[in-house]
Structure 1
Amino acid sequence: MGRLFGTDGVRGVAGRDLTAELAMDLSVAAAHVLGDAGAFAATGHKRPVAVVGRDPRASGEFLEAAVVAGLASSGVDVLRLGVLPTPAVAHLTAALGADLGVMLSASHNAAPDNGIKFLARGGFKLSDAVEDEIERRLGEEWNRPVGSAVGRVRDAYGEADRYISHLLTTMEGSLDGLNVVVDCAHGAAHMVAPEALVRAGARVEAIGARPDGLNINNGYGSTHLDKLQQVVVSRGADLGVAYDGDADRCLAVDHTGAIVDGDRIMAVLARAMHTEGKLAGGTVVATVMSNLGFKLAMREAGINVVETAVGDRYVLERMKSGGFNLGGEQSGHVIMLDHATTGDGLLTSLHLLSVVARSGRSLRELASAMTALPQILINVKDVDKGKASVPELAAAVAEAEAELGETGRVLIRPSGTEPMIRVMVEASSEDQASQVAGRLADVVRTSCV
């Protein structure tokens, strides 16, 4: 059996892979690892506290019940937050002094999927070691609390306002005069995002804001930007922002409907923060998948770029170890560590809009400071990903890098979950990127079997 925890919690088809039984068992194990559950019964000390939130998926209803039952039966007091974004749960874990947080969401996946993400004290994602400990303790024997030692459960739906108020305190100025379309993906941000933007001063039209439990990410949100593009252009809006199902990522479109991805968003924020003396260490943290155009734009602006492996947890780890306060991914996971412990789509959008409002410039003009190089990605399947560094491939990569020079880049990356090697090439032209990527993919197919 493989590792239960993936790159972002435990995820699968709800009711088949992610069952109520598994959700309860995981919550019991997490209570023992993160909350020191059982100590109250033994010592009379204060019971640990957990906050639990979810996105609007239908399966979240029964999974929430299972998680709450597992936590309370372990001696943990539970605050049910209701439907809220993942970063809201992370913030409230810290703000309410909880010992752990739980978020039920499968992010940008379709409605049949769901997931469980655990958060440690302070609202931070768990390390691999802590996840492994939770997994190790699944099904172990334990002393079950009884009577007054069992956890108590209460609803805390009003805490959403605490999260919105926090976001608004992080902004400078107002969004007065901005006409914004917001796409909530029929997801967790469908209420808090429009309210926060309106309270910040923007004129807001919301789409993808009518979840029915089954339509999350269906044709809306950060993975389906065509509707947002159409509405922004047809309404003559200044720009649009889109979140994914749990609103930990944000992408944008300018007034012409052109997409502004995570790299461009980070470039806009980094330049503004650097100019204002707020960019810690004059550095932004990005993954190896960020476009070379982003790095060239940062170099031109006098900003250093530190690279990590793909995954927002690795970005966060590097930010914390280096004392940096801005980082993220091309996909729209942007972490502003001065204000949040994880990627926060709503926070990102508020600060992006604030830069637009304070500068008096359009998003299109601000984003044009970065010119993205053509990027070709080929997934070579059914190969031995352990051979990604064989001499034949290394020689081919060296030859390609010499051909591309400083205006191109090659990245060969084994998949973390499949027998696949990813070949990514950037070049000054799409034709060149495609030709080089094709040649390298052929070498992978012949040498990595």
Structure 2
Amino acid sequence: MGKLFGTDGVRGIANQELTPNLAFRLGQAGAYVLSKEHPHPRIVIGKDTRISGDMLEAALMAGICSVGADVLRVSVLPTPGIAYLTRTLDASAGVVISASHNPVQDNGIKFFSSTGYKLPDTLEEEIEELVLNNQRPWSIPTGGEVGRVIEITDAERQYIDFLKGTVGSLEGLKVVYDGSNGAAYRVGPQVLQELGAEVIPLAVSPDGVNINAGCGSTHPEVLQRAVIEHQADIGLANDGDADRLIAVDEKGEIIDGDFIMVICALALKAKGGLAKDSIVVTVMSNLGLYIALKDAGIKIHETQVGDRYVMEELLNTGAKLGGEQSGHIIFLDYNTTGDGLLTALQLMAVLKEQGKPISKLAAQMQRLPQVLINVKVKDKKKSMENPYVLQKVEEVKRFLGDRGRVLVRPSGTESLVRVMVEGQDHDQLTRLAQSVVEIIKREER
């Protein structure tokens, strides 16, 4: 990838790295590149609830309109909702202003193509080159040729109706829902209630700075306690832009993306609805998932970490279900990106159909011990290529043999290197992971 676009768009600290000026130039360059295929582009723009969203949205819209493109403004809406509306509104592209699960000081800008998929690398690189080299090949329209902002006032209703159309009634189920004070804080509880579920809402009062703060899919502790307190059937937690889901069973135990994929894949397979009898996962998925799905005759395609790579493999293989342990799960029959609310509804539909506690459904997979440690670094590439780090990783691989595995990879969105070790003995895995972390930290000094 280039210097601006990472695996999930352009990210940075808002007003420091991701400035209004950069947002303005991205808007201009993006609209210009897209105008080659769409003479008068119409671009959907939505955002999450973080305070910097208003500032970046204004700059981005100004850039888009300044080159003669129109903005279809949907305001606060989950990322997958923006992907959906980009398709259904016949827009030229979609743009999301969000930093997903990151803290409030961060923000990001991510483009979707007219089909609702992430922009191909070639178009991202073309936009990036124009911005970084300060090129302005576009003409400057005046008068009636300047772009305008069109408010899409029923965006939430359109997205809710789409979600409702993917499942039947959820009446009789009691759910605790954690909206992470993010983009799904309204649509999440509403769609569940309209489908008949009894909903206890958490973290649905955003104030601009409390997004992902001690709540949501990355901080499920409050949700776990609330599920037990309210004797709910299930707990659901989205992240800030609601493209991922982490669930909690009736006993307060975490059900991550691996468990969710196993539950849904096995249910689909039993009904003959799992396309190609296949699923796409990343190298971070637990070995327990492989065992559970292979025993059921389900083929597993593996790819590197990142939902864009999961999507590429889905399109390459013809599979329709794939995702990540973190809760980014794609149901390609319904949407073109990871969708936390869609995933929640599909999971609850299985719960309703099978009439078993969610803990019993999760027990179809036995998790192998897995230790994951994040290490903050200055230069991810340098850390990954350090010969002492590589040597230590090889030592751990040789020690584990076929009894486990070690994976060291850079984060796609933060200045982190992630060290994951998996095997039979948790204490031993912790020691092995820590030995790799110590080398990474030593080499940082």
Partner residue, 1:43: none
- Give the stretch that moved more between structures: 386-395 or 369-378: 386-395
Q: Spell out, residue by residue over 1:241-284, the C-alpha distance to the aligned partner (whole angstroms, 9 max, x if none).
A: 00000000010101111110111111111111111111111111
Partner residue, 1:108: 101
Q: Spell out, residue by residue over 1:398-427, the C-alpha distance to the aligned partner (whole angstroms, 9 max, x if none).
A: 52243x53xx22324356689976542211
User: Within 2, Cα distance between the matches of 1:274 and 1:97?
Assistant: 34
Secondary structure, aligned partner of 1:284: strand
- Paired letter, 1:166: F
| 1:66 is aligned to 2:59 | yes
- Report if the CA contact (8 A) 2:389-2:439 is conserved: no
| 1:29 is aligned to 2:22 | no
Secondary structure, aligned partner of 2:200: strand
Partner residue, 1:17: 17
User: Within 2, Cα distance between the matches of 1:266 and 1:66?
Assistant: 39
Corresponding residue pairs, total: 438
- Paired letter, 1:135: E
User: Within 2, Cα distance between the matches of 1:379 and 1:107?
Assistant: 18
Q: Give matches, 1:269-418, under 5 Å.
A: 269-378=264-373, 384-387=383-386, 392=391, 396-402=395-401, 404-405=402-403, 408-413=404-409
Q: 1:384 to 1:257 in 2, by over 3 A?
A: closer
- Paired letter, 2:399: A
Alpha-carbon distance, 1:159 to partner? 2.0
Alpha-carbon distance, 1:439 to partner? 5.5
Q: 1:373 to 1:4 in 2, by over 3 A?
A: same
Which of 70, 79, 85 is 1:86 aligned to?
79
- Report if the CA contact (8 A) 2:80-2:335 is conserved: yes
Alpha-carbon distance, 1:128 to partner? 2.5
- Paired letter, 2:398: E
- Report if the CA contact (8 A) 1:400-1:436 is conserved: no
| 1:187 is aligned to 2:182 | yes
Identity across the alignment (%): 49
Q: Give matches, 1:37-48, under 5 Å.
A: 40=39, 47-48=40-41
Alpha-carbon distance, 1:16 to partner? 1.5
Secondary structure, aligned partner of 1:137: helix
Gaps of 5+ in 1: 41-46
- Report if the CA contact (8 A) 1:374-1:428 is conserved: yes
- Report if the CA contact (8 A) 1:387-1:448 is conserved: no
Q: Spell out, residue by residue over 1:298-318, the C-alpha distance to the aligned partner (whole angstroms, 9 max, x if none).
A: 112221111111111111111
- Report if the CA contact (8 A) 2:41-2:91 is conserved: yes
User: Within 1, Cα distance between the matches of 2:291 and 2:325?
Assistant: 15
Secondary structure, aligned partner of 1:306: strand
Q: Spell out, residue by residue over 1:56-96, the C-alpha distance to the aligned partner (whole angstroms, 9 max, x if none).
A: 11211121111111111111111110110000000000011
Alpha-carbon distance, 1:214 to partner? 1.4
Secondary structure, aligned partner of 1:317: helix
Give RMSD over aligned pairs. Answer: 2.5
- Report if the CA contact (8 A) 1:179-1:202 is conserved: yes
- Report if the CA contact (8 A) 2:8-2:412 is conserved: no
Gaps of 5+ in 2: none
User: Within 2, Cα distance between the matches of 1:397 and 1:116?
Assistant: 38
User: Within 1, Cα distance between the matches of 2:418 and 2:246?
Assistant: 24
